């Protein structure tokens, strides 16, 4: 059988210097990607010129406006499928992959039982100190004992959801589950999307595939007001949406309570932080969900590219 076609697709916005390193790391893979795409989310720091001068063979998808992580990865996934990928390897512009990262993902996918091919694979994401990055912990599938034991025997762990950083998606997964829901904009959008993909499929954490997420600090959703607003809003949207089974949703509620308490403690219960939590929760409750959860899906027949590109309005405030 012919080897699968893998297209690496990197989302960037105003990180020209670290993007160079991310691109160099992808080009240095022991198992080369069969295509390389950069989706530029309306950078203003000279990124397009740098790409044209230094990486002329890289395909660039230039977005006219900032579409957030969700809209950007929507385009990154679409571009990978347009290039005929069997697998789309998604990376952030500050994700520096070790030389064997892609080879380990592909090898792990081939080790899984061929009768139930995996829909996604994800890497071990580290910070600069070599410890797992708290922003990129996958949600492990703990309640299926047989699957857990079988995966461990293969050197893997089964997952229920994962983050954008070094995420390998199969064409079947994308065409079956659709594309990311643009209205999430950023924060928890990757958790919603991968959880939706894995409602009726399998995905695996591959510890031998290592990527450094080169963030300046070990931030998570509690790091700032804007980030936490979208975290709270989007977690409520997940509770209202189809990505998680009904019996799984109490875990989402507990996670939202736990992160809210951490955020409030970090900000010493300031009036601003209390207001941020309340505004995020209310925004999630009030947000009008699409009538069809697959409204933003890409069907096997063709692309939905170009639809619904509006940047979401600023966070609502309480009256």
Tell me, yes or no, whether 171 lies in a domain: yes
Q: What is the mean pLDDT of residues 290-303?
A: 44
Around Cβ 131, how many Cβ atoms within 10 Å?
9
Looking at residue 190, what is its pLDDT? Answer: 97
Tell me, yes or no, whether 103 lies in a domain: yes
- Give the integer Cα–Cα distance in Å for 6 and 89: 7
Beta-carbon-side half-sphere exposure of residue 25 (alpha carbons within 13 Å): 25
Looking at residue 52, what is its pLDDT? Answer: 96
Q: What is the mean pLDDT of residues 71-89?
A: 97
Tell me, yes or no, whether 316 lies in a domain: no
Torsion sign (Cα): 136, 310, 50, 15: negative
The Cα angle at residue 3 between residues 73 and 213, in degrees rounded to 5: 35
Looking at residue 298, what is its pLDDT? Answer: 37
Cβ atoms of 74 and 8 closer than 8 Å: no
Tell me, yes or no, whether 150 lies in a domain: yes
Torsion sign (Cα): 191, 193, 199, 201: negative
Contacting residues for 48 by C-beta, under 8 A, at least 6 apart:
40, 60, 62
Instruction: Give the whole-number percent of the chain exceeding pLDDT 70.
Output: 90
Beta-carbon-side half-sphere exposure of residue 269 (alpha carbons within 13 Å): 0
Of 73-87, 222-236, 240-254, 299-313, where does mean pLDDT reach its minimum? 299-313
Q: What is the mean pLDDT of residues 82-93?
A: 97
Tell me, yes or no, whether 126 lies in a domain: yes
What's the pLDDT band for 114 if we cut at 50, 70, 90?
A: low
Q: How many domains is the chain built from?
A: 1
DSSP state of 246: G
Tell me, yes or no, whether 246 lies in a domain: no
CATH number of the domain to which 128 belongs: 3.90.550.10
- Give the integer Cα–Cα distance in Å for 80 and 223: 32
Tell me, yes or no, whether 268 lies in a domain: no
Query: Range of 14's domain?
Result: 6-219
Radius of gyration of the chain (CA): 19
- Give the integer Cα–Cα distance in Å for 182 and 175: 17
CA 243 to chain centre: 14
pLDDT, one tens digit per residue, over 131-140 is 999 999 999 9
- Run of H or E including 254: helix 249-266
Looking at residue 291, what is its pLDDT? Answer: 64
Contacting residues for 60 by C-beta, under 8 A, at least 6 apart:
37, 38, 39, 40, 48, 51, 52
Identify any residues that bridge with 97 across adjacent strands, giving them in sequence order: 211
- Give the integer Cα–Cα distance in Å for 299 and 176: 8
Tell me, yes or no, whether 279 lies in a domain: no
Q: Is the pLDDT of residue 111 over 50?
A: yes
pLDDT, one tens digit per residue, over 191-250 is 999 999 999 899 999 999 999 999 988 878 888 999 999 999 999 999 999 999 999 999
Q: How many helices (H) and strands (E) does the chain have?
A: 10, 10
Mean pLDDT of the chain: 89
- The pTM score is 0.90
Of 41-45, 167-171, 310-314, where does mean pLDDT reach its minimum? 310-314
Of 65-74, 99-108, 217-226, where does mean pLDDT reach its minimum? 217-226
């Amino acid at each position: 059988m012919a080897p699968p076609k893998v297209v690496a697709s990197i989302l960037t916005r105003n990180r020209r210097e670290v993007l160079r390193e991310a691109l160099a790391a992808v080009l240095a893979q022991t198992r080369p990607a069969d295509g390389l795409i950069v989706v530029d989310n309306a950078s203003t720091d000279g990124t397009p010129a740098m790409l044209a001068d230094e990486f002329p063979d890289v395909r660039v998808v230039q977005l006219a406006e900032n579409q957030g992580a969700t809209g950007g990865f929507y385009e990154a996934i679409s571009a990978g499928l347009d290039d005929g990928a069997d697998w789309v390897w998604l990376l952030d512009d500050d994700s520096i992959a070790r030389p064997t990262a892609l080879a380990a993902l592909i090898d792990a996918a081939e080790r899984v039982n061929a009768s139930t091919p995996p829909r996604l694979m994800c890497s071990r994401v580290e910070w600069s100190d070599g410890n797992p990055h708290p922003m990129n912990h996958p949600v492990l599938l703990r309640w299926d004992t047989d699957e857990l034991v079988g995966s461990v025997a293969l050197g893997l762990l089964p997952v229920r959801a994962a983050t954008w950083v070094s995420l390998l998606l199969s064409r079947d997964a994308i065409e079956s589950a659709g594309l990311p829901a643009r209205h999430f904009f950023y924060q928890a959008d990757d958790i919603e999307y991968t959880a939706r993909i894995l409602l009726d499929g399998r995905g695996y954490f591959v510890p031998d595939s290592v990527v450094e997420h080169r963030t300046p600090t070990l931030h998570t959703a509690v790091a700032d007001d804007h980030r936490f607003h979208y975290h709270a809003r989007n977690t409520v949207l997940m509770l209202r949406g189809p990505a998680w089974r009904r019996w799984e949703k109490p875990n989402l509620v507990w996670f939202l309570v736990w992160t809210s308490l951490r955020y409030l403690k970090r900000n010493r219960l300031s009036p601003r932080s209390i207001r941020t939590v309340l505004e995020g929760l209310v925004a999630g409750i009030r947000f009008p969900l699409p009538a069809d959860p697959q409204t933003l899906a890409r069907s096997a027949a063709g692309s939905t590219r170009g639809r619904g590109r509006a940047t979401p309005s600023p966070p609502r405030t309480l009256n």
